[in-house]
Structure formats: C-alpha cells, structure tokens
Amino acid sequence: MQDMLEADYRAAKREVVVRALINAGVAAEVGEIVAVPPETRRRAVFKIVRHGDAVEVGFHGLKSHAVVDMQECRVLVPALVALVPRLREAMSAILAPGEHAEAHVTLCDNGLDVAFRASRKYQPALTRLLASLGAVRVLWNGSLVLGAAQPIVRFGKAGVSLPSEAFLQPSVEGEEILRKQVRAAVGKAKAVADLFCGVGTFALTLAEKARVHGVERDVPALEALAAAARATSGLKPVTIERRDLFKVPLAAVELAKFGAVVLDPPRAGAEAQARELARSKVPRIAYVSCDAQSFARDARILVDGGYRISTVVPVDQFLWSSHIELVAAFERP
C-alpha cells in the first residue's frame, strides 16, 4: 500500500467503512479519511531469533513465522526504530542459536517500556545487558528486572502509571483525534459511562467536566485509572467497576443514570452491550472502533433501537495496512 497513489490509498481505506455499513443495512455518511503522520506508532511487538551468530529483530513475514529483520520503518516512532540495533546487540549475548524471544515495547511520555517473553529463564547476569537498552522499565517473562522509573502516559491533566503491556491507542496523534470526536459526541452530559475504558484514555479527560464511571475487565488497567484519578486535582468523581461486558453488559436500567456512554471495544465489537443500549434511553453514545464490520453490526442494532447516527469518521492509525479505526456519534431524536 505504500506504493499506491495517495488518493487511491485513502479511497480504498474509506471504502472499507462504506462497504461494511452498506452490508449491514446502515445508512450513514462516511467522512474523508483523517490520517496520522508517518513515524508516529508508539508501540510494537518485535520478534527476535538467533540464527548462528546473527540475531534478527523485526516482524513476521506475511503468513509466515519467519522473522524479517528490520532495518528501517516508516510507521514506528524513531525511538522504537533506534532501539532495534540495541536489541540485536543485547540479545546476541543472551540467546543461543535457534532460540526465540519477543519484546513488547511502548514509548511512554518518560521513556521506553520493554517487556520480554522468552523460553530462557532470567538470570542476574542478564541485568547489565538489558540495562544497555536505556528503558525506564524492563520485564522478563512478567517479572520486573529493571525499573529506574514507572512508565507514565498522560491523558489531559492526568498521568497514568502504565501497567505492563497495557492497551494504548497506537499513536498520540490518533488518540487526540479520537478524543476530540468523543468529547463532541458526549456533549454536555454530566454523567458518562466509559465502557471498555482501559487505563482511562477517554475517562480521565472526560472527568475534567463530567462524572465518569469506567467499566473494564482488566484489573491492572482499572487500578491504574483509579490511581491516576485520585492523584489528579480538578477532576470530577471517577468510579470504576470490574466487569466482562461481553458476558454481563450494563443493563438498560443501569444505564438510565448516564447522560452519555462511550464505547471503545476490542475488534469483536460490543454486540451484547449495543443490545442493552438499544433498549435504554441514554441520549448520546460515542462509539470508537478498530473493526468496521463489528461496528456496522452494532450500529445496525443501535439504529434499529431508535438512535440516529452521525457522520462516521475513519481514522487511519494503521498506516499502509488493511485496518482502519473509526469513531461515530449516536443520538436519541
């Protein structure tokens, strides 16, 4: 896709959203693609393998388990690209020929967070080698190895101590595009339910003007959100609830106290929750999705339940791939 003409590329990605809505029978305007710049993706999972004396660091080839050694990247932030040669050097002294590992890397506001998964058990002798990566935190198979500081990401006024391998929007730029759309969709609601809230990407900024109830099944994410809310002055009350919204969605009667709901589910979408929202009287919904097909299915449920859908905004956070993010607002007439 990097070799396509820009206009053709954008049209193809927009068509993914248009086609999904048509197939689901949803009549909605689809806006033009809003794209993040190149070199802005802040997280990656690097695959690592040693062949003889050579260590390869990169990603799996298409439909393959072979690692394609990475020499450059137009998608990742420069700090992640610059880490690759340091990973090669460190892992050449750690891995034996034929051994594999992977490194989950996130660029936080105060530096790199690196979590390794490997068959090799950690040994104290590895500490010096891993310190050469210059990360603020390094974990090995879930255990803390180095921690000069807690990795921090900021959402508005709040700074969140990021749990290891926690979900974040791929780029700061894309996150802000989505946040702006969500704020507009929520409007002046005084009480907001943020469902699939994660570490508080939307909840903590919405709490600057509204009471927010965050619901999520990931305990470390919820605890990080709650701690950030407590430590940030000037926020409205933020409450949290651990709940698997796929199995136990908030019922229509529970939703009655909210003036707006934010949805940001995984690729599978939020079908069960959409059905409860369709039965509710919630005035406004902001729906963020990374899968056009599951979004279209849920949008049909909401529209059949009486909601009016606004212009769907496609956000290209997954540059030169078939994936597309999107955000849309729903209102009760």
Using the CB atoms, write b or e for 126-144: b if 16+ within 10 Å: beeebeebebbbbbbeeee
CB 181, CB 329: distance < 8 Å:
yes
CA angle 94/57/91 to nearest 5° reads 10
Using CA atoms, how far apart are residues 40 and 93, in angstroms rounded to an integer? 30
**Rounded CA gap, 4 and 158, in Å?**
40
Q: Which residues contact 54 (CB under 8 A, 6 or more apart)?
A: none
Q: What Å distances lie between residue 79 and 67, 82, 269, CA to CA? A: 21, 5, 32
Token pair belonging to 287: 């729906």
DSSP secondary structure string for all residues of 259-322: SEEEE---TT--HHHHHHHHHS--SEEEEEES-HHHHHHHHHHHHHTT-EE--BEEEE-STTSS
List CB contacts of 256: < 8 A, sequence separation 6 or more: 280, 281, 282
Strand order in the sheet with 111-118: 67-69, 54-60, 43-51, 100-108, 111-118, 137-140, 143-147
Assigned token pair, 67? 């690692």
b/e for 217-247, b at 16 or more Cβ within 10 A?
Answer: ebeebbebbebbbeebeebeebebbeeebbe
Q: Are 38 and 319 in contact (CB under 8 A)?
A: yes
Catalytic residue at 197? no
Catalytic positions, written as ranges: 290
